[in-house]
Structures are given as structure tokens and as C-alpha cells.
Amino acid sequence: MIFDILGIAYDKSQSFRKGAKYFPELFWEILPKIETYQNGIELSEKAFFNNLGIIKPENFQDLIDKASKKLCECVNFPLILGGEHTITFACAKTLKERLKIKNIVILDAHPDCEDSQGHDSVVRKLFPVFKENIYLYGIRCMSKNEENFIEKYKIKLLSDISELENINGNVYLSIDFDVFDPSILPLVGNPEVNGIDVREFEKIIKILAPEIVAIDFVEFTPSGIKELDKIYLYLAVTIILKTIAEIIKAKS
């Protein structure tokens, strides 16, 4: 299976920890060091990575322009590496028609429903595009303002994995690395306690994999203590490879 990998080095609105823009480049650096046999799949034989390059948008409009232009070149399974969560809006909107995407599933500690221009507003921005087909899982920290938006527009906050089984039709899956517990992966834009573990994550991927047609990983912020960064980078990319292995399993 061929994956078109697009990096989006954009973290203009990250507020607490910055550095998500460094992830796409570091992904390619660490990749050769990680075990290729993941979840029963030998990725060196079954997965082919077509590097679409890394775009570096200057601002929100530039993000929309550059991402949509690049994603038009995409003919295989799109795998997008952020960058902050804002990139999901540009990518999901661009790919919606062509890939007949019906649903967007977002794994995140936050509902990102703020009325702002930043990464904390991505679900609010996606709402006019996907309406009742937005599903959020892993949410555990929100503002009163966001809660009001969620209630008013009936955004689906899922609390049990089994609820994901009811999602039918093509899925764009967006993974904010802060969905994981900070004890597993603390290098994220906005860490929150009580996150999910990788076992739970793999269960989620197994359920959704047959429907997933595009995926992104966002908000991993490799900056700070260098040696420790490398370890967490290794873990983040391992999680991506596990996801790829499950998608290959489901699609073959």
C-alpha cells in the first residue's frame, strides 16, 4: 500500500508549547531507526512512503493555499504530518470531495471549539463542512465557551470505544498526540492528565481502519531537552507506524 506523506511545518498559533513545525522533518530522520515489523505487518514489504515534501505556510491563508495545492498531487493514501491542529481544517476540507469523506473523527484531549483564529478552533471551523458527522474522542478539558458550542450544535463527544463502531462511510481521522496520557507522550502543545494509552489507541484504530481514507497526526512538539526529545520522537513515530500497519491489515 502506498502512502503519500505530506509534512506541514506550521505552528503559528500554538500557545503553550511551540515546536510542532519541527515534527515533519524529524519524522524522516528517525524513521530508519524504528522497527519495521509492527502489529504483524512487515512494513518494509507492505508500506511504500511517497514523500510529498514539507510545506512551510506563513499564515492561515497561506496554509489553505499551499496544503490544497499539494494535496491535489496526492494520488495514494494521504498521511499528513503536522504541525499544529489548524492544518486539519485545510486538509480535510481539500480532500472531502475527492475522497468522498463523510465523517471526521478526531482523537484529542480538547474539543477545539473556541471562537478564535488558532489551533483551538479547528472543530468550530470544520463544523460548517462536516456538520453532524464530526466525532470527538478522548476529550477531557474544555472551556465553558466550548461546552456551549458543543451543546448548541450537538457535536458528538464519544466516551466509549464501542460508539465508534456506529460510524459508517469514509472517515478522515485526525490524531492530536495530546489524546495520549502525558506519562506516555508529554511533548505536545497542551498536555492534559488522564489520557488514553497505546493499547486503547490500537483498539480505536482497529475499529476505524476499514473506513479511514486519510489521516493526520498533529501537535507533537519536539523541542526542549535533546536526548529526551529523541525518545519521545521515537515513540510518536512508532505510534504512526502501528497505525499504518493496522490500516494495511484492514485494507488488504
Return residues touching Mn ion (CB under 5 A): 108-110, 176, 178
Residue with smaller CB distance to Mn ion, 12 or 110: 110
Query: Between 112 and 211, whose beta carbon lies closer to Mn ion?
Result: 112
If the CB atoms of residues 17 and 70 are measured against Mn ion, the closer one turns out to be 17
- Please state the closest distance from residue 175 (CB atom) to Mn ion, in A: 10
Of 47 and 122, the one with the shorter C-beta distance to Mn ion is 122
Q: How far is the CB of 98 from Mn ion (least distance, A)?
A: 27
Q: CB of 13: closest distance to Mn ion in angstroms?
A: 12
- For helices 198-208 and 226-251, the axis angle rounded to 10 degrees is 30
Cβ distance to Mn ion smaller for residue 17 or 93: 17
Q: What is the smallest separation between the CB atom of 109 and Mn ion, expressed in angstroms?
A: 5
Q: Which residues of 164-188 are buried (b: 16+ CB within 10 A; e: fewer)?
A: beebeebbbbbbbbbbbbeebbbbb
Residue 146 or 178 with smaller CB distance to Mn ion? 178
Distance separating alpha carbons of residues 214 and 93, to the nearest angstrom: 12
Residue nearest to Mn ion (CB): 110
CB of 16 to Mn ion, least distance (A): 10
In the complex, what is the shortest distance from the CB of residue 52 to Mn ion, in angstroms, rounded to a whole number? 25
Closest to 201 measured CA to CA, from 135, 123, 107:
107
